[in-house]
Structures are given as structure tokens and as C-alpha cells.
Copies of this chain bind each other. A is one copy, B any other.
């Protein structure tokens, strides 16, 4: 029997790297898609590329920096807006929202899935994102799945096995699967080390603590 083919939305962070290991363990034929939508730094793309190289997974970076003038107003894409510090779920973190980011990512991944004969798009949305991002809610994922399944000649479904997990659960699972966490990148700031202070760094540290898993990350300010 042929292995099921899936296109993984892959950022190079903890969640999608654990999902990559999980899919490979379940004997999927995985292709990984990263998107450069004009992040301030290319560090997470480098981490994504290195990981896929090690695991012999086909990896493509779709360059969407041309969309920047349309999707302004976000600190992830605009050099004029300061990256907020504090907890990922705080209201101030809304400044990091790229308008309609997930629908854009999923629609491109679905196009690739169609052209390559994959039957699903996999992504690592989990229960911790939902307070901040409307497009991380379950109802959004359900509605995306509905439209993805009827958009082409062959059905492409949205695969989100982590949707009921917390980030700490994902760290526990990654620990079991032997994920080399030190080779994943979370920090919004693209410096040499994880800053330890921005929203994703705070969330990363907390996830290891809650999971009871040793955090191999070296932080700059902790």
C-alpha cells in the first residue's frame, strides 16, 4: 500500500517539528511547506530547512514578502512596530497577528497538495493559541476543512491531530518521539540566542516546565 501523502505547514518551531516526527513515525509521505511572509528574520526558516535536510523531507519555502504592503499593521512583518514582551496569551500580543495568515498558509498548502496528489494538509494548531488568534479556533479549522474538501477534483482534508493538546502535551509527546528540541526555533526576535522574554519564548519555557521535560534551550535573558 502507498503511504498517505501529506503537506505539513512547517515553521521550524516546537509544535510543527513534533508533528513532523509524529507524521513520519506514522509512516506518512511528508512534504514540508514554510512560508516567508516577511518575518523580520529568517532564523526560523533556517531551522526548518536544516531539520528537513536531516530527516530527508522535501521542503519548500514559499516567498510571500510581496504581500507585505497588503498585510501591514503587524509587528511580525513591519520593522516599525515594536515586538511586545510578556505572555503569549496577553491582549497586547494581538499586535503580532498577520491578517488572515492561517487561511493564506492553508490555501497555498492545499494548492501544493492538489498538484502533488496529497490527500491532506497537516498543521500543528493546539488548544493554547485560541485566546489570541481568531484563525486558530476550532470553528475556523472546521470551516477551512469544509472548503478545502470541495475546492478541487480530489479531496484534500485538514489534518490537525494536536488540536486538543496543550503546548506542554506537545512537548511531552516530542520528548517520547526523540525530537531534538535544541534544533527548533521559537523566538520572535532573530538574535543569536532565544531572547527568553518575548511571547513565544515565555510560552516555550512554560511548556517545558509544565511538561516536566528538561528545556535544552539557551536563553539570553533568563
CB distance from A102 to the nearest CB of B (A): 7
Question: How does the 8 Å CB contact mask read for A61-104 relative to B, with 1 for contact and 0 for none?
Answer: 01110110111110000000000000000000000001111111
Of all chain B residues, which has the CB nearest A111? B100
Copies of this chain in its oligomeric complex: 2
Task: Kindly state whether residue A130 has any CB partner on chain B within 8 Å.
Answer: no
Q: Report which of B67, B110, B112, B148 forms a contact with A108, defined as CB distance below 8 A.
A: B67
Q: How big is chain A's contact interface, by range?
A: 35 or more
In the complex, are the beta carbons of B107 and A134 less than 8 A apart?
Answer: no
B112 x A70 contact (CB < 8 A): yes
Give chain B residues whose Cβ lies under 8 Å from the Cβ of A147. 103, 140, 143-144, 146-147
A171 CB → nearest B CB, Å: 28
Task: Say yes or no for A151: interface residue by CB 8 A criterion.
Answer: yes
Chain B residue with minimal CB distance to A33? Answer: B70
Q: Which residues of B contact A197 (CB under 8 A)?
A: none
Check A72–B115 contact: CB distance below 8 A: yes
Interface flag for A53 (CB, 8 Å): no
A152 sits at the interface (CB 8 A):
yes
Q: Given A147-B147, A150-B139, do A70 and B103 touch, yes or no (CB 8 Å)? A: no
Q: Which of B67, B134, B139 contacts A62 (CB 8 A)?
A: B67
Residues of chain B with a CB closer than 8 A to A62's CB: 66-67, 70
Asked if B151 and A112 sit within 8 Å, CB to CB, the answer is: no
The interface residues of chain B lying within 8 Å CB-to-CB of A115 are 70-73, 99
With both chains docked as a complex, state the minimum distance between the C-beta of A69 and any C-beta of chain B, in angstroms.
7
Tell me if A60 and B64 are in contact (CB < 8 A): no
